[in-house]
A and B are shown apart, each in its own frame.
Chain A
């Protein structure tokens, strides 16, 4: 973990790094606790098949969470990701039904996703509209286009190799193919956010866009390409989702956008921008997926699982905030660090 210090850590080493370490440590502890609970309550928890179930079901959200992290760090938001996913899935379905080769359908879906992201980016950076409003509009627009394309029908006669990519695993292991795809993307985004000028500029933009602009950061261009990346990866998630459930429907992944945002926020990324790391987001994705898995193994339905996720999300911010209010004497050493590290969350 210490291998990936966030740029703010460079600015104020002691302060932000202390906060970072503490936050992600907390998530690791939480994850271990949930894993222990799972192992104690269910005999099948450690089976390979359970691992593939646990991971493959969460991969679409995980893929979308990568660019979402960067967007939230830059103090923007993209609520249209799940609709872009649905539109991409519909494009694959319509193309396949029209007899096009599947690889062409997939490429077409990715291009449509990039276009969706470009429209978001254009409206946000050129017109200066708030991204919350823009992507709320395109959330409806893209989902609507998906249902115009597919109506109420479903396309499901996909070839075996395609659906095999969706829920199949590496031979002899419980590791899904889609997990490998995610790991490759994660590596790319880790370098992008934490080891390149792109990441440094993103944190600068998130903390103070005006100052970043005066420091020769091309804020608009950076944000535009972020939205394009988000649209493209949402479309990729759409392909993965289509392959996994081997069906294209207009309402695929309805409402996933809130799950993605929740995962990013639980990962310690500040909704006001400028703070948070991908390591935290990956840990939070793992926590959410494992909590859902453990609850499901204990016959708790998806909707009740949501109570836990929602409570975790609130507590992740509320807990540190309340701890900071404890009397001085009890938290002598940590107080200064926490205050500076957590004031924006």
Chain B
């Protein structure tokens, strides 16, 4: 090590610059690697089955992914702060059922009102999680595992075995998911808008950078005067709000809803976030990555269907894809870190 340092000592500034560039690359390489993997996947499947490359199919994939992406953006906010929200699926299920039930119980109720109430409900549920974690000092994984059960149970309680049918919701509600703008289905546009706004906010605003700081080193963030509790609370509340939005999309897309809606979805959401390169221990990762993670998972699922794999293979291959993605990510990060350590001047 000492001899290496001596050798590098002369070209310190050059090494330093290269190190800085590498640091920058580490930040972007996760998304880059994911994009390359996605491109390879699309090319390989497209060669076998040209149908896969059609614009129509791209639309199908993105439409299927849009709800997952909205929730994944919310989950990213929480995971960045070194927390996790396991209750997302229950929040989506509860909001989507309550929205449907409002239509069923009050025929003629205005659609924007119900949409607003559903989002508000999501926000409230997220705030409960946030309060448990920040005020109650309950570890996030414990608190949200608890609310996973409670929120889902409340949905069952309200439902009492009933379900919402397509005929129960007005056409205006269903149009949220079926309408198109410039030929693009609105859920895709909505998901893209959410991702852009949140992604831009995380990148450029003070609050955004503070969220990264909390996840990177909670103690240092506290000493730097960041009001961690408020921000973590806000992250959970925002995640709940986005789950409310996803609940509206879910309800308008599927029409027929029972209280089991979106059951088990939390694992897909966490998978998308993790595949997207968001560090599960906080402080690193981007919204773009999480959305890409969701798109990759959706593309894999679609490719398997188009290649006429038995649907039974789907889950096994998704699982393998998660393991592959995180292993690759780890190896890349480790190699870059080693390169950085070797070049670090003393």
B residues 267-310 touching A (CB-CB < 8 Å): 267, 270-271, 274, 280-281, 310
Q: Tell me the count of chain B residues lying within 8 A, CB to CB, of chain A.
A: 44
Chain A residues in 8 Å Cβ range of B136? 314, 317-318, 321-322
- Give Cα A308 to B136, complex, Å: 19
* Contact present for B145 and A261 (CB under 8 Å): yes
Mask for A144-161, Cβ within 8 A of B = 1, else 0?
Answer: 110110011000000000
Mask for A67-86, Cβ within 8 A of B = 1, else 0?
Answer: 00000000000000000000
CB distance from A171 to the nearest CB of B (A): 38
Mask for A295-335, Cβ within 8 A of B = 1, else 0?
Answer: 00000010111111111011001100110000000000000
B200 at the binding interface (Cβ < 8 Å): no
* Contact present for B145 and A141 (CB under 8 Å): no
CB distance from A315 to the nearest CB of B (A): 8
Q: Beyond A310-B150, A314-B138, is A129–B319 a contact (Cβ under 8 Å)?
A: no
A237 at the binding interface (Cβ < 8 Å): no
* Contact present for A144 and B315 (CB under 8 Å): yes
* Contact present for B146 and A130 (CB under 8 Å): no
Q: Beyond A129-B326, A132-B280, A141-B323, is A301–B267 a contact (Cβ under 8 Å)?
A: no
* Contact present for A307 and B326 (CB under 8 Å): no
Mask for A47-83, Cβ within 8 A of B = 1, else 0?
Answer: 0000000000000000000000000000000000000
Chain A residues in 8 Å Cβ range of B182? none
Q: Beyond A141-B323, A151-B312, is A314–B318 a contact (Cβ under 8 Å)?
A: no
- Give Cα A301 to B259, complex, Å: 13
- Give Cα A26 to B78, complex, Å: 32
* Contact present for A307 and B150 (CB under 8 Å): yes
Chain A residues in 8 Å Cβ range of B314? 144
A-B pairs with beta carbons under 8 A, tally: 143
Chain B residues in 8 Å Cβ range of A144? 312-319
Residues of A that sit less than 8 Å from B by CB? 123, 127-130, 132-134, 136-145, 147-148, 151-152, 250, 254-255, 258, 261-262, 265, 271-272, 301, 303-311, 313-314, 317-318, 321-322, 345
Q: Can you list 24 A-B pairs, Cβ within 8 angstroms, ordered by A? A: A127-B330, A134-B323, A136-B267, A137-B319, A140-B271, A140-B315, A141-B319, A143-B316, A144-B313, A145-B316, A148-B310, A148-B316, A262-B146, A303-B153, A306-B149, A306-B156, A307-B149, A308-B153, A313-B149, A314-B147, A318-B132, A318-B136, A321-B136, A321-B137
13 more contacts with CB within 8 A, not counting A129-B326, A137-B322, A309-B149, are A127-B327, A130-B280, A134-B326, A136-B270, A136-B322, A144-B319, A255-B264, A271-B142, A307-B154, A307-B157, A317-B138, A318-B136, A321-B138
